[in-house]
Structure 1
């Protein structure tokens, strides 16, 4: 009996020690957490990778088919998409309408695979998509008409700085709920030149303001010259409006800070710059600030690149894991759609991850190029990005006569695993 009692007491004492040890560990952890809270001690976790991400990619045939048209609008590039309810986060378009912005556009008729000789090119047009599905019944295309009923660009430069003969190509934009829900978008003033390969040049940057509720062709819009065009050598020329990230709570941003981030592209290296401003101050150009790699500066020319080898049009989209996806055409007119991952709207951004090769789109045409890839988050499904890129030709009109459906956006789906 005495021996058995000693064994029992020994086991009981050991379990008391084991329980006490666990209790002490829990107490220590609790005290540590309390100290962190009281003294605001931050426990640093390793940041997510900016060099790799698990994904798959496929052609988005349903979206490709939506822009194969035979009457009216049958071609265009650019293609920025603006959610008219202001929600710009992934998978939010089901109950909304989307304004699609095109730059150079083709209006005419295609019969039996041949384009009518009377087709017209204008410098910008728009489309309206109802809902999130690429249905033919849900999309309408719009342009203006002159006094003779001929197609005409919706937006034509009429600012103080504008000159006769200039035209607009369109940049990105957003619905500004701090300015009466008006639409703000960027227009690039373009002049035709005698250059052999690229016979045009940008000469100015304009904010185009469309009142809430206005309908195409938006005859009541306003135009405001901005100081956000950089003129100079090929290495120094640039402009802002290549992409817009609305990082506000009302837009559905993942980590909102109340700012709109406006991306610019500069020089032959296609360096990406970024500015930011509160939505309410969008027209107060002195309130804009420019990222110099360390801090925000008042002077545009102090902006430092956050990436290079991009394209004149691009997108930066918050991902649900806290990273930011910059989507662009590698080296402006390369065949690859590129992705860079960043830790904030200003980076740092990692190396280029090639996610798609457009070479198959270029193999059966005349001097074809692909360019200006970008994502359309509000039209995307959960855990993916719907991405478009443009197809064009250096020998444009002969190419259109041979392939009337050539000049239209192509789409892919980038799915994150």
Structure 2
């Protein structure tokens, strides 16, 4: 059987999760707010039916979303299984496996975009000239600028034969034409070294501030056992053309090697949005190994401090070989009282991903909350 599970994208998130750790904010704080959660049946059924019957996309992880200029929604995925689901609900052993893809949801009609051909699909964005078994891009968060879709790229290289034998090597930005997801360009970004052997992974979350004219990009300092959020910004509309600024202890500077930690315990992917009067960061709880908890932190300022750790949901799939990871909210899909949250599901046993095609797919949850509306 030829495959890349856990998948590699999941393995990146788990390299820290399997190591016990202690961290500030390790236990969720009591919360008197009203919070309830339920499965989002509309998204669950839409993507489940498509995956089972379209003969195209059968599952993926990452699951960022961004609204496109024509009113449709682009779903941004990293590791992706293609092909068909068999009569037993499984994946054939020769199912194509890609490192990134996009599905456009046009009022319930789903279209998958990849590279290559429909008969022989390839990743939508590939490292130029590279063997994708050794060097590839995963997708981060995305935004629309000047009518073009900009997707954050995280480049990884394989360093050995084991599932955890790979490392992050740098960031770039892909520009795609949203009309047909044609790749227009790839723009490399400067490295952001931190510590002796680490680089910040930019693109964990993007926040567009309509008031101050900046696009804010959150990144992760991934030290395996501990992960810290960092923050950068660029004038709105110039993600690939203007110099970035990096937040360091209350000031903004131009040195990509100088930025400060603003929160410990985030997953590699998370979200930041304005929700009920405060900046709200939603993440899988990376302060404990293999956590089933999806938690929220809040702040009056985008730059933090983010406090008041509150559990929003516990993923029911977690247990045995099955784990969940990289939870995030989708503010483009929610409303003033509801956070639409997705998270990824995977298994430590690679065969599980073929026996049950429904396992390796995002899950969708509506979290209804009344939290009290603070000032900005």
Q: TM-score range by the shorter chain?
A: 0.7 to 0.9
Residue in structure 2 matched with residue 239 of structure 1 by the alignment: 201
Q: Could you tell me whether the CA contact under 8 Å between 1:124 and 1:153 is conserved in 2?
A: yes
Q: Does 1:174 align with 2:143?
A: yes
- State the 1:362 CA deviation: 2.5
Q: TM-score, normalised by structure 1?
A: 0.74
Residue in structure 2 matched with residue 310 of structure 1 by the alignment: 266
Select the structure that is richer in strand: 2
Residue in structure 1 matched with residue 100 of structure 2 by the alignment: 124
Q: Quick one: higher RCO (CA 8 Å, sep 6+), 1 or 2?
A: 2
Any gaps of 5 or more consecutive residues in structure 1? 1-48, 86-94, 249-255
Q: Could you tell me whether the CA contact under 8 Å between 1:272 and 1:305 is conserved in 2?
A: yes
Figure out how many residues of one structure are paired with residues of the other and give that number.
332
Partners of 1:301 and 1:116 in 2: CA distance: 45
Any gaps of 5 or more consecutive residues in structure 2? 1-28, 371-376
Rg: which structure is higher? 1
Matches within 5 A, 1:14-413: 53-68=33-48, 69-70=51-52, 71-85=55-69, 96-112=71-87, 113-131=89-107, 135=108, 138-146=109-117, 149-158=119-128, 165-176=134-145, 180-194=146-160, 196-211=162-177, 213-216=178-181, 218-219=182-183, 221-230=184-193, 233=196, 236-248=198-210, 256-268=211-223, 269-284=226-241, 287-321=243-277, 323-331=278-286, 333-358=290-315, 360-363=316-319, 367-396=321-350, 398-413=351-366
1:371-408 per-position Cα deviation (integer Å, ceiling 9, x unaligned): 11111111113411100010112332x11122221110
- State the 1:289 CA deviation: 1.3
- Does the C-alpha gap of structure 1 residues 201 and 379 become closer, same or farther in structure 2, counting only changes over 3 Å? same
Q: Could you tell me whether the CA contact under 8 Å between 1:50 and 1:343 is conserved in 2?
A: no
Partners of 2:233 and 2:30 in 1: CA distance: 22
Select the structure that is richer in helix: 1
Partners of 2:252 and 2:33 in 1: CA distance: 29
Residue in structure 1 matched with residue 12 of structure 2 by the alignment: none
- State the 1:231 CA deviation: 6.7
For the aligned residues, what is the CA RMSD? 2.4
Partners of 1:50 and 1:264 in 2: CA distance: 28
Q: Could you tell me whether the CA contact under 8 Å between 1:228 and 1:240 is conserved in 2?
A: no
- State the 1:62 CA deviation: 2.4
Q: Could you tell me whether the CA contact under 8 Å between 2:155 and 2:171 is conserved in 1?
A: yes
